[in-house]
Amino acid sequence: MSYENFATKYRPGNLGEVMGQETIKTTLQNAVKLGRIAHSYVFYGPRGCGKTSIARILARALNCHHPKDGVPCGKCPSCTEIAESKSLDVIEIDAASNTKVENVRDIIIENVEFSPSRDKYKVYILDEVHMLSDKAFNALLKTVEEPPKHVVFIMATTEQHKVPLTILSRSQCFRFRPISEADIVTRLKEVTEAEKIKADPEALRMIARSAGGAMRDAITLLDRAASFGRGEIKTDVLNDLLGHPGFEVVNAMALALVGRDAAGLHSAFDKLNAEGHDPLTAMRELRNNFASAFLHAQGFSKEDEPIKGLPAGTPPALLARLSRKLNVIIEEVKFSDSLSIASEMALFTLVEVPQDLEALVRRLEGFETRVAAGAAPEPPAQGGQKKNDALAPAVRPYASPAPVAGPAPAAVPVVTAAPAAVVPQPAAAPADAWKKLLGQVSARKPALYNILLSVKIVFTQPGRWRLLSANKFETSMVEKALPELEEMLARFAGMKISLTAEHAAAPIEGASEISEPDGDDSVVDDCGDSPDDSPAAAPAAARAPASTQVSGDTEPELKHLTKVFHGRITRINKVK
């Protein structure tokens, strides 16, 4: 008798032998028991998870002569013929080979009206149904929608999205899931016991992991390993068969990545190449080991530590991040013409980039908080200055003119250069905080920023500022924004500051004019040095020809613009 491979020999004969898919098995078994048979079914899911096997079992259950609670007997002529693919009433069609509309018409449409030759139902099993052409689907549509009562369609596919919605909406659809590793190992043990094959438990787990949820792939690999190992399946033999590099090499690569050891990583790759293992397989093992190590570190897995010798205190997030990055690298290098070089160079990029990025982010966030609070360390002082003097803004001292006969002139600010070693006055810190506040307001609320550019700030006492504006509307807008301004100012100044918005009786010319209120109150212009205070501003205005000076009589529009934008025009260039 010719040899029968394991995948065919141990194909499930009833629903109880199918591993996994519990929901589907229960639904179909109850439907057969209750007589609730649909005229069309669609089974979709990954390869090797039992779609065609359950389709044949369902056909046997529908046509069995002696069923018991929806389970076929397996002994009657109908069960035997269906198992051997010899039944005249169960027609299996390979849609990949019969894609044309003529095939569908000849095999299905023209014969569907004939009654079953012996059994109760005529069952059409269409494997890989997504391979049918659009015209073939259109021809099949009407038959699937309203078939004769004795016809049942069972369609299996690995690509459900390619099946037209008109077909899916007229069928009962069942999604098949990948089979778990535990179920695959259980089934492999049953096969090895039946075949009297000695197999290491770790070797069976390795086969289950390599199958990727496909039972057929796992049993086929078991059959191949049994032939390679002469009736014994051992881990080292299986590593040679699958091209796996072995635990030691993969573990050395994992420790090199965690420890950012470039020399250790290169040594592991040298051993990998010397033994002739597949680099892509090693990368997949490495990715899976990092994922398993993350689950183990989080307490989600009860298996042994997948990576031996990990440094104490290794963050679980680091293991998860490495697994994700390896997944991206695998997709990048799998089509390379030199897998070994591409894989090694890609892993070296992981060694060079800091892995614990969360710690760096926390440090940067802490530094940003200290800077916002004004508590960040300053660079060392130079030239005998204190360390805070180097970054302190210059303060413009104000001097009152000596009294002269006649009407007392208005106080004029005198600009003097502050020496580098002079300790700044207390007014410098509030001015710096106000400039920072303006920068943040300009990004969040441009309209409010334009209003704040025209106000005067009066420091009446520590912790209390007065905001003066000559425009009632602008005063009301500033007053509404006071809580938000106080909150931002407290962050920049490092202290709670109370703001009050006041309407000034006299007009305020904006940033180009600075005045001092009575008493000891000091005034700081929100724009810094005004154009009037610049040494070059006055000469520029003086050099301007008389014909270019602004006149309210000759240029009323320009004068209006100066009021709107709170500035002044020193020169006009007219185009002839």
Average pLDDT value for residue range 211-233: 88
pLDDT tens-digit readout, 106-141: 888 888 888 888 889 999 999 999 999 999 999 899
Average pLDDT value for residue range 88-94: 91
Please give the share of the chain, as a percent, with pLDDT higher than 90: 23
Q: What's the CA gap between 486 and 433, in Å, rounded?
A: 11
Query: Which DSSP string do the residues of 243-273 spell out, in sequence order?
Result: T---HHHHHHHHHHHHHT-HHHHHHHHHHHH
pLDDT band at 521 (very low <50, low <70, confident <90, very high): very low
Would you state the structure tokens that stand for residue 31, as one six-digit string? Answer: 């439907």
Q: What are phi and psi of 2, to 5 degrees?
A: -70, 155
Residue 519 confidence (pLDDT) = 39
Please name the residues in contact with 293: beta carbons below 8 A apart, sequence gap of 6 or more.
254, 305, 306, 307, 310, 319
Average pLDDT value for residue range 181-195: 92
Average pLDDT value for residue range 491-517: 63
The H or E element spanning position 490 is helix 482-493
Q: What's the CA gap between 188 and 217, in Å, rounded?
A: 11
Average pLDDT value for residue range 31-50: 92
Q: What's the CA gap between 88 and 101, in Å, rounded?
A: 22
pLDDT band at 561 (very low <50, low <70, confident <90, very high): low
pLDDT band at 313 (very low <50, low <70, confident <90, very high): confident
Which residue carries 């006299």 as its tokens? 506
Residue 441 confidence (pLDDT) = 84
Q: What's the CA gap between 440 and 445, in Å, rounded?
A: 8
Residue 556 has pLDDT above 60, yes or no: yes
Residue 19 has pLDDT above 80, yes or no: yes
Residue 419 confidence (pLDDT) = 39
pLDDT tens-digit readout, 396-447: 333 334 444 444 444 444 434 443 333 333 333 667 777 888 888 887 787 8
Q: What's the CA gap between 258 and 309, in Å, rounded?
A: 11
Residue 555 confidence (pLDDT) = 62
**486 vs 420 pLDDT, higher one:** 486
Residue 155 confidence (pLDDT) = 94
**Range in 25-29, 383-387, 428-432 with the lowest mean pLDDT:** 383-387
Helical H segments across 85-124, by residue range: 101-104
Task: Tell me, rounded to whole angstroms, the distance of Cα 366 from its chain centroid.
Answer: 25
Residue 488 has pLDDT above 60, yes or no: yes
Average pLDDT value for residue range 512-539: 39
Average pLDDT value for residue range 328-349: 89
Residue 429 confidence (pLDDT) = 60
Would you state the structure tokens that stand for residue 309, as one six-digit string? Answer: 């010798």
Helical H segments across 86-180, by residue range: 101-104, 134-145, 165-168
**191 vs 400 pLDDT, higher one:** 191
Domains with residue ranges and CATH for the chain = 6-175 (3.40.50.300), 181-242 (1.10.8.60), 247-358 (1.20.272.10), 428-528 (3.30.300.180), 534-576 (no CATH)
**566 vs 220 pLDDT, higher one:** 220
Of residues 152, 86, 101, the one with CA closest to residue 125 = 152
Q: Which residues in 290-328 are b (16+ Cβ under 10 Å) and which e?
A: bbbbbbbbeeeeeeeebbeebeeebeeebbbbbbebbee
**Range in 58-67, 132-141, 374-383 with the lowest mean pLDDT:** 374-383
Helix 235-242 × helix 215-228 angle, to 10°: 110
Residue 548 has pLDDT above 60, yes or no: no
Please name the residues in contact with 6: beta carbons below 8 A apart, sequence gap of 6 or more.
191, 195, 219, 220, 222, 223
pLDDT band at 516 (very low <50, low <70, confident <90, very high): very low
Residue 451 has pLDDT above 80, yes or no: yes
Query: Which DSSP string do the residues of 332-365 spell out, in sequence order?
Result: HHTT-S-HHHHHHHHHHHHHHS-S-HHHHHHHHH
From residue 7, how far is each of 12, 56, 75, 187, 216 by CA, in Å?
Answer: 10, 15, 21, 12, 6
Length of the chain: 576
- Asked if residues 469 and 508 have their Cβ atoms less than 8 Å apart, the reply is yes
pLDDT band at 287 (very low <50, low <70, confident <90, very high): very high
Residue 191 has pLDDT above 60, yes or no: yes
- Asked if residues 398 and 413 have their Cβ atoms less than 8 Å apart, the reply is yes
Of residues 327, 315, 325, 316, the one with CA closest to residue 349 = 325
Which residue carries 């992981």 as its tokens? 350
**Range in 75-79, 248-252, 451-455, 553-557 with the lowest mean pLDDT:** 553-557
Residue 318 has pLDDT above 50, yes or no: yes
pLDDT band at 474 (very low <50, low <70, confident <90, very high): confident
Average pLDDT value for residue range 177-187: 92
Would you state the structure tokens that stand for residue 292, as one six-digit string? Answer: 């398993």
Residue 29 has pLDDT above 70, yes or no: yes
Average pLDDT value for residue range 454-460: 78
Average pLDDT value for residue range 166-188: 93
What long-range pairs does 473-478 form, CB within 8 A, spacing at least 24? 475/501, 475/502, 475/503, 476/501, 477/447, 477/448, 477/451, 478/448, 478/451, 478/452
- Mean per-residue pLDDT over the chain, rounded: 77
